[in-house]
Every structure is written in structure tokens, then in C-alpha cells.
Amino acid sequence: MKIWQYIPARLAHALAPWGLGFYAAARDYPTFNWDSFQWKNLFFANRLGIAGGVDKNATMTASWQRLGVGFLEIGTVTPMAQSPNPGKIFGRDWENRNLWNKMGFPNDGSEDVYYNLCQAKTELRIPVFVNIGKNRNSKNSDAENEYLFLIEKFQAIADAFVINVSSPNTAGLRELQTQAWLESLLRRATTVAKGKPVLVKLSPDMDEDELQGSLKGSVAGGCSGFILTNTTLSRPPNCSFAKDGGLSGKDLAEKSKNLLKLTLSALKDKRKDLLIISVGGILCPEDVAERLALGADLVQTYSGLVFYGPEIFKDTAQLMNQPDVSRNVSA
Ligand SMILES: Cc1cc2nc3c(=O)[nH]c(=O)nc-3n(C[C@H](O)[C@H](O)[C@H](O)COP(=O)(O)O)c2cc1C
């Protein structure tokens, strides 16, 4: 039982930054070392990080680092600040360990987030991915320019970029996952990023052809890896969440694993140093081990922070440092 279980979902979400601050202040773990690896010029002491949307404005980075995470992803940040979608935007199902959200990229905007990250960076010793998205009121025909603007803005300070074209909560965003659009964006994005890796975060709701198209276009455009997956529009039987909005947690796990397997198999011969990050339904240390065994290079969690709690980083380190836990189990 977690204390935050007894607080209404929206309030618990609003209080989370304070709760985390107090929680982390009483701890100062080192960045846990397990399964460390070097990718390009980035060193990952361990392979478990926080997912996009957890620290949207880069205001909690020091706390996450104190809890021992291997890497951070901040954002989604958009060019201009924007508020959440109207109405109910967050729900939890404790029994089934699922979350639901319809947030729609609420964030303080690129100017403020850039400032926050510059302040935070001096203390950070772990890689920071910057997740970027378009503003909800701008047209898809302007999206490419918005992504390029954001990459230019954060180029000097981000360790890597995540192109978010997969949130279900910004109308029309997922239409940008086509082969042609991604190839065109990535060609320009990689130039503006000046050597900083650019990854693409994909939706779990694509069919196999759509996935192949997204992968092909992104790789042809020069992307450095993929994050699989964002939240899903599908619902398990008897689900009480609204039909719109994204579901994450336990009932996303199978879809996320399936996309991971399809992606690994599609990229088998062209994998080179593409980084594959798995996220979706990773709720405990054993899930981390399973996803790595399936072939992911890194893993992330959002729902795990709610249903397991922030000790997931320490407990995962403990599990992964046991001699009989190997990530080299092939899927
Ligand atoms: C409340 C909430 C907000 C989210 N916000 C973002 C976001 O801003 N950008 C993003 O790329 N993903 C966002 N996500 C998706 C997560 O990064 C992740 O892909 C998804 O929740 C699946 O992981 P999980 O099962 O561990 O929650 C959000 C998820 C939740 C639950």
C-alpha cells in the first residue's frame, strides 16, 4: 500500500514533485552500477531511466539522480508554454495497475525548460534526453519547423533528442509517423542536432506495415534509435477509463513487448549502433530484467513509479547485481 493511493489521482499527481523532493532529500544513492555501457559518447551506469512526461519541465532532475536512475528524459517540451487539455486528464486503476492520461503536453515552454535544464545540468552526471513535441494549436504542416526549432534551442545542452510523434492526446500528431514525414524530418533534424543523437518515440497502436514504414523512414533519415512505446488507445475488457486518452501500465506490456520484438527483428541486419529503449508496463525489477533479456538496450518506466514506487531503481540494481541474472537471454 502506498500513501498516494489514498489521495485523489489529480491531487496526487500535483503533489508528486513535492513528495519526490522530500523523499529524495532523505536519500542520496549513487548512480547504481549494473550492466553499464557506453553508447556513442554517452555512459550509462545502469539501464533504467524515467519515461517522458515524468519530469516535463526539468524541475526534478536532481531528485531523480539521487534515487539512482541511469538516465533521464525530460519533456515533452513544446516551443510555447501550454496548459493541459480541459476536463479530467489523469486516472489510476490500482487493482489492474493501469494509468490513463489525456494531458496533451502541458509544459512551461521551451524558453523556461531550457533555463531549468541549464541550471540543472551543472549537477547532473547522467545522460539527459530531451523529448520534444509540437504545440497543440499549430498545424501539422508547421510541425517540422517546430521540431527543428526545439532541436536548435536545446542542441548545446541535450545529450540526445526524442521526437515525440506518438502521443494520442494531441490531435493529428500520430499522422506524423509516416515513412515520408519521418525521413524528411530526420534528414534535417540530424543536421541541426550536429551529432547529438535523435531518437523517435513510436505508438503501440500501429499495425505492422505502419511500423515498418516508420522504422524505414526514420533510419533512412539518419535517426539514432527508437523508444517503444507511448500510451495506447486500446482498452482491456471492462476498463472504466474513457475511450480517448492513453492507457499505460500493466495492460500496455504485451503491446510494448510485441513492438519491441517486431522492431528488433526488422532492424536485425541494419541495427549497427541504433539504440532501442523499451517502455510500457515495466512495473517491477523483474520486468526490467525481462525487457533487457528481450533485447532492449535501455528501459524506462512511468507507471512503475506510481505502482511500485521510486525504490524501483534501488531494487532493480539489487536484482541485476545478483550473479544469476543475465540480460543475455535471447528472446
Ligand atoms: C501521466 C502521463 C503523462 C505522460 N506524458 C508524456 C509526455 O509528455 N511525453 C511522452 O513522450 N510520453 C508521455 N507519457 C508516456 C510515457 O512516457 C510512457 O511511454 C507510457 O506511460 C508507457 O510507460 P508506462 O507503462 O511505464 O507508464 C505519459 C504517460 C503518463 C501516464
Cα 280 to middle of ligand 1, angstroms: 8
Q: Whose CA is nearest to atom 21 of ligand 1?
A: 248
Whether 303 is in the pocket of ligand 1, judged by its Cβ within 6 Å, is yes
Q: What is the mean pLDDT of residues 81-103?
A: 95
CB 137 within 8 A of CB 172: no
Q: Cα separation of 243 and 283, whole Å?
A: 23
Q: Name the nearest CA neighbour of 199 among 143, 159, 233.
A: 159
Q: How confident is the prediction for the chain on average, in pLDDT?
A: 93
Question: Which atom of ligand 1 is least distant from the CA of 249?
Answer: 25
Determine the residue of 231, 254, 288, 301 to mutate for testing ligand 1's pocket, defined as the one with the most ligand atoms within 8 A of the Cβ atom.
231
**What pLDDT was estimated at residue 4?**
67
Q: What integer is the mean pLDDT of 280-296?
A: 98
Q: DSSP label at 31?
A: P
- Model confidence at 327, in pLDDT bands (50, 70, 90)? low
**Whether residue 166 has its Cβ less than 6 Å from ligand 1:** no
pLDDT for 329 equals 45
Please say if the pLDDT value at position 97 is more than 80: yes
303 CA: nearest ligand 1 atom: 27
Q: Is the CB of 168 under 6 A from ligand 1?
A: no
Q: Ligand 1 centroid vs 202 CA: distance in angstroms?
A: 12
Whether residue 320 is predicted with pLDDT greater than 50 in this model: the reply is yes
Task: Tell me which of 223 and 7 has the higher pLDDT.
Answer: 223
Domains of the chain with CATH codes: 3-320 (3.20.20.70)
pLDDT in the model for residue 181: 98
pLDDT at 100 over 60: yes
What is this structure's pTM? 0.95
- Name the residue with the closest Cα to ligand 1, atom 3: 53
Instruction: Tell whether the model's pLDDT for residue 222 goes beyond 50.
Output: yes
Q: What is the pLDDT of residues 11-30, one digit of tens each?
A: 777 777 777 877 887 788 88
Q: How confident is the model at residue 1 (pLDDT cuts 50, 70, 90)?
A: low
Q: How far is the CA of 182 from the centre of ligand 1 (A)?
A: 21
Catalytic positions, please? 167
Task: Give per-residue pLDDT as tens, 32-81.
Answer: 999 999 999 999 999 999 999 999 999 999 999 999 999 999 999 999 99
Ligand 1 pocket, residue 302 CB under 6 Å: yes
What is the predicted pLDDT for the residue at 330? 41
Residue of 177, 228, 230, 251 best suited for mutating to test ligand 1, as the one with most atoms within 8 Å of CB: 230
Dist. CA 30 → ligand 1 center (Å): 26
- pLDDT tens for 174-202 read 999 999 999 999 999 999 999 999 999 99
The reported pLDDT for the residue numbered 324 is 75
Burial 158-168 (b: 16+ CB within 10 A, else e): bbbbbbbbbbb
Q: Grid coordinates in use for 289?
A: 530484467
- Of 5 and 330, which is predicted with more confidence? 5
The verdict on the CB of residue 231 being under 6 Å from ligand 1 is yes
Cell of 260: 519491441
Count Cβ atoms within 10 A of the Cβ of residue 188 and give its class: 0-12 exposed, 13-18 middle, 19 or more buried. Answer: middle
Give 330's contacts (C-beta < 8 A, 6+ positions apart): 293, 295
Chain length of the chain? 331
Q: Is the CB of 304 under 6 A from ligand 1?
A: yes
- Check pocket membership of 256 for ligand 1, CB cut-off 6 A: no
- Give dist(CA 90, CA 291) in Å, integer: 26
Q: Are strands 298-301 and 275-279 parallel, antiparallel or unpaired?
A: parallel
Q: What is the pLDDT of residue 29?
A: 82
Count of CB atoms situated within 10 Å of the CB of 236: 14
